[in-house]
Each structure stands twice: as structure tokens, then as C-alpha cells.
Amino acid sequence: MRLILKIMAFILITGASYSQQIVMFNHYFYKPMAYNPAYTGYGDGVNIMLVNHTQWTGFKGGPQYNILTLDGNAINKNTGLGLILVSDRKGVNSRIGGNALYSYKLQFKENIFLKLGLAVGVINQSIDYSKAIIENSNDPSLFTNSQNKTTFDANAGLAFVLKNFEFGLAVPQIANNKIGYVSANDTRTFYTQNRHYMSSLKYKFILPKKKDISVTPQLLTRYLPNAPLQYDANVNLDWSNKFWIGATYKSNYALGLNLGVTLFKNLSIGYTYDYITGNINKYAGLSHEIMIHYTFNKKKKDSKTDEQKEDEELKKLSTQDLNKILIERIEKKVEALLDRGNATQQEIHELLDEIASFLDSESTDPSQDILKKYYNSLKNQAQGDINVLVKGKIVLGDNPPNADYSKVKVTILDLATKKTAGTSVPTRDGKYFIILKPAKKYQITVENEGYKLYTKDFNVSGSPESYEMSQEIILSK
């Protein structure tokens, strides 16, 4: 007993020049924000977590660690704010403190982003030798009265997420502060809050035949200059975000078991148990951790695809509005097919059948005219006829905030026959499409109420195969 307390006191008071100072709670796989501020606000809603970590119950004064966290996206989806309160006791040494956390997300693509985080706060550290069993009371480094010091604390970190892959890097105690204590005979002793370096790798494997089951391995490393590298290798199996079970190997220290369950969708409870390896196992007693986590205002996960959601919205529309939206869908499909220029005969015939189901010979809707022209063009292409797709975008020169293209009319005149070769009513975003025959001269006219008439002659050259022309038309007031 005396030996253990003496070793613990020595490590704590010398500044831990060769030991890890940062207490690592076992549920880092569940809430990495506790050591890496970049994960602040990572998830849904506002989250609160309470952790109690008890270690070496067989020793009087064994380490006890408590943590309370609060975080969420308070400003917007890219900004995370949080708060951490910590209480840490080891033998004659105890620390209490708190940090305010901030993170910002740089979004590259839907599932690819980088998060940067910073935590700042204070730590109050105290040493009380009245709790120690002292063999040599004349040791000049000891003092009889309890002493405590408060110092600035700061942590920094980043987290890169690429779909199911995560990489994290954190630097706790980045300020590298030195705390000084003075004994009764004016002997000075220092405790240095050494800068640590931590990194993590994590990947979530979703089982192909059981999409509600995932397996997530994770590696966490901790490095302190002049101390051995430490690492934790963890793997967890999660079922539908309702239950998890896993195991952890802590280098040269312990094997861990992880269990957890989510109740009422918002409340999660986790438990971990460490089996201490080595000679200390006979005396260490129980080492375990309990975690309680609750999420406020959690958004319900929607497993429906965007297409399914869109189909549900379409069912709520009137028949007229529904036909209009469906016709717009077909127009986009035709445009994409014509843009490719290498559509197969099967693809053309399938699209012809889809267009035919929406054609209405008695309708006066302008979109019906567009569908008919597309149908004829695709039919000719299927028969081997050559066509030219003239397309472009109408731009209103005064850049109105809510541009209305419903009254814009595009007309193309065949200059040889003086007959109308085609007309088009632009889409909502101003795009127009007209199918023409090659090797002819045409004139395009664009009309819109309140704007100058636009007229331009152009030639469509001959070609052994179908092709397209594109031009932007700007209308002036």
C-alpha cells in the first residue's frame, strides 16, 4: 500500500515527465468530444452526458474521474458550442476544471467535411499530503498544508470525416503551463501540465445483408514526449443504434468490455469494465465506468429516399399540377438523352413510350407542344433521321430577383419558306429547346412583355449525324 501511494504521489508531483496526465474515459468511442473539441456539436440536437470512471478500488485513493458535457449546434449546422466540467482525483492529487468549446465545420461534399475545434478554460489543481502515508516526514519536497493552484487550460483538435471513415487529431494541455508549489522550508516543487498528442482512426462497416447492424473498429493513440506511446484498440458492434457491445485492448494495461443500450430513442446508458492485466491485477480491485447520455430535440431519422419523398409530395397535388411536374421530369430526361448523343435504340424507344403516355392532342398547354416536338425528334432519331437540337438560356438583363419566364416566347422562322419552324416556352429557370432540320437558314425571335424584341439570323450546317447548338440570349429592358 505504501509503495503504491508513494509511486502515485511521486508521479503526480514531479510533473509526470514520463507518464500520461490526461485521463482517458472508456466511452471515447461514443463521445470523442471529451478529448477532441473538434467533435463538439457532432450529431443531432443538444446533448448532455455524465460519466463516472472508477479505477483501482482495491487501493485507497485510487483514481476517480467524473465528467459532465453539454454540446450542440447552437448557431447553425456548421457551428458547434459546448461545455465540459471535470473532476479528477488520484491519491493526494485532485483537479477540477471546466472548458468552453467551439467547433466549425468546413463542408466539401455531402459526406465529406473537416471540423476544427478549440477549448479554453481553467484547471484548479491541489495536493494534500495529509492523505498520504509518509515514510520520511523530513523529505524537503513535502509540505504539511494542502495547496491548490489555478491555471489556464486549452485544447485544440481537428476531425476529418469521409463518409464512414473518421480521422481525429487533438492536442490537450496545449498551453504547457507550469504550476509551482512551496513547502514549509521554502523548497519549490513544480508540476508541468505537459502538452499531449492524441490521434484516432475509425471506420464504420455496415453489414450488406443486415443494414441495421454495423461493426466499427477504432484506434486511439496517446503520446507524451519522453514517455512510451500508448494506444487503445477498440471494436464495437451496433444494432440499429439501439444496442452496442464491444471490446477494447489498452496497451500494456487492460482488456475492456463495452455494453450499451438506447432507451426511448433519446436516452443512452453505457457501461465498461476493465480487466487489469499484469501483477497489479491481484490488488487493483474493480475498474469500471458508467455513462448516461441524453439528446434533446433529436431529429427523427428518415430512411426514405429523396425520390420516395418527392413521390409522396406529388400525390398531394391536383391532377393539373401533377401532370405539369411529370412533364417537366420528362423534359429533363429528353434533354439529358439528347445531350449524350450516344443513346441506344432501346433507351430512345423507352422514352418515346413514356412521352406518349402524357401526350394529349386536345390540350392547349404549351408544355404539350414541347412534348410533341420531343416525341417527333426522338422518333426521327430512332428512324435514323438527322436533327439539330437548338438550346440555350434566356437571361433578363435587369436581373430581377424572381424572374418570370411564363410570358417569354421563342419563335424560329425558316428563312427559305418563311414558315415557323418551331416555338418554345422556356422552363422555370429560362431554358429553351427547339428541334430543327440541318443545312438551313433560320431566324430566332424572342419576345417578352416590357423587354426589347430580340432577333437574330443563324445558319444550321449540314451533318451526317444529329448534333446540338447552344446559345445564351440576353433581353434588355
Amino acid 179: pLDDT: 77
Claim to verify: residue 289 and residue 401 sit in the same structural domain: no
Low-confidence ranges of the chain (pLDDT < 50): 1-19
Q: Which of 247, 266, 296 is the last residue of a domain?
A: 296
Beta bridge partners of 305: none
Buried residues in 425-446 as b, exposed as e (16+ CB within 10 A): bbbeebbbbbbbbbebebebeb
Q: Are residues 287 and 323 in the same domain?
A: no
**Phi first, then psi: what are they for 31, rounded to 5°?**
-140, 80
Name the residue type at position 278.
G
- Supply the CATH number for residue 134's domain: 2.40.160.60
Distances (CA, A) of 133 to 8, 129, 130, 182, 367: 12, 8, 8, 20, 91
Helices (H), 362-463: 366-382
- Do residue 374 and residue 398 come from a single domain? no
Q: What is the pLDDT of residues 38-97, one digit of tens each?
A: 999 988 789 999 999 998 887 777 888 999 999 998 778 889 999 999 998 887 788 899
Is the same domain home to 140 and 261?
Answer: yes
CB contact at 8 A, 460 and 444 = no
Give per-residue pLDDT as tens, 191-236: 778 889 999 999 999 887 666 889 999 999 999 888 888 999 999 9
Q: Cell numbers 440576353 label which residue?
A: 474
- 469: alpha, beta or left, given left = phi > 0 and alpha = psi -120 to 50? beta
**Alpha-carbon span 364 to 263, nearest angstrom:** 58
The pLDDT assigned to 168 comes to: 96
* Measured CA distances, 358 to 33, 39, 313, 367 (Å): 55, 51, 20, 10
Together in a domain, 169 and 81 = yes
Q: What is the pLDDT of residue 16?
A: 35
pLDDT at residue 438, as a whole number:
81
Task: Tell me: do 365 and 471 sit in the same domain.
Answer: no
How would you classify the pairing of strands 467-475 and 388-396?
A: parallel
Number of structural domains (the chain) is 3
183 and 243 within one domain: yes
Note whether 98 and 72 are same-domain residues.
yes
Place of cell 418515346: 352
Give the CATH number, domain containing residue 469. 2.60.40.10
Say what the pLDDT of residue 397 is: 81
Q: Which residues pair with 151 in a beta bridge?
A: 123
Domain boundary among 338, 362, 383: 383
Give the per-residue pLDDT at 17: 36
Last residue of a domain, one of 383, 400, 433: 383
